[in-house]
Amino acid sequence: MSSSASPLLIGILNITEDSFSDGARYLDPAAALAQARRLVAGGADIVELGAAASNVAAKAVPTDEEIRRLDPLIARLKSDGVPVSIDTFQPETQRFALARGIEYLNDIQGFPDPAIYPDPYAFQPERFLEEPPGTYTWIPFGGGRRRCLGASFALLEMKIVLRAVLAHHDVAAAAEAAEATRRRSITFSPGDGAVAVLRARARQPVAA
């Protein structure tokens, strides 16, 4: 891990079929390596590799496939001297990556594996009273993955957009029947995509 006091830039590279930004573009190892090197040339201090998308519509990726996608990239980037971060919530993939000497792990589930962090779901707030929690410490109430700055900005942006839209429109579900939910990682999402109908409100006449 770097001891630099200056902020470090992380270049994100998704080796997936269905990530939002670059899904299916870098499944080929040569294309992925070329993009990683472009990120470094563009100023990235660290390259983070993700081999399984976490969006609600993404396909599940078996651990062996995740490792197969990551293996050649880790080896080449390490030989280039590039610090590597791995984005995965699979404990087996995490152990594989650590054995390969990667510098960082990113787990959107907050490292809940008891083999890595004992008794991760126990409510024991006293364990955080004596000293500040470490970077990878699992904090199930108000911390851990909930400290994500990007998530806070995304929620703020969503609130601003919704406020502007709902000021002049009514929103209703497209289907009359209740929509089932599906579980994805740590979240629940609408099973059929939450299709909605947006109708502009009639403007009220303004008194002269």
Decide the pairing of beta strands 84-87 and 104-106: parallel
Distance CA 173, CA 134 (A): 43
Among 56, 73, 108, give the residue marking a domain's end. Answer: 108
The CATH number that applies at residue 50 is: 3.20.20.20
Q: Looking at residue 68, what is its pLDDT?
A: 95
Same structural domain, 23 and 85: yes
Among 56, 85, 108, give the residue marking a domain's end. Answer: 108
Q: CB under 8 Å, gap of 24 or more: what pairs does 144-147 form?
A: 144/110, 145/107, 145/108, 145/109, 145/110, 145/186
Same structural domain, 40 and 100: yes
Would you say residue 26 lies in a domain? yes
The 10s digit of each residue's pLDDT in 126-166 is: 665 666 666 555 555 444 444 455 666 777 888 888 888 88
Q: Are 84 and 78 in contact (CB under 8 A)?
A: yes
Would you say residue 75 lies in a domain? yes
Distance CA 50, CA 186 (A): 17
Total tally of structural domains belonging to the chain: 2
| Structural domain harbouring 30 | 10-108
The 10s digit of each residue's pLDDT in 189-198 is: 788 878 889 8
The 10s digit of each residue's pLDDT in 55-79 is: 777 888 999 999 999 999 999 999 9
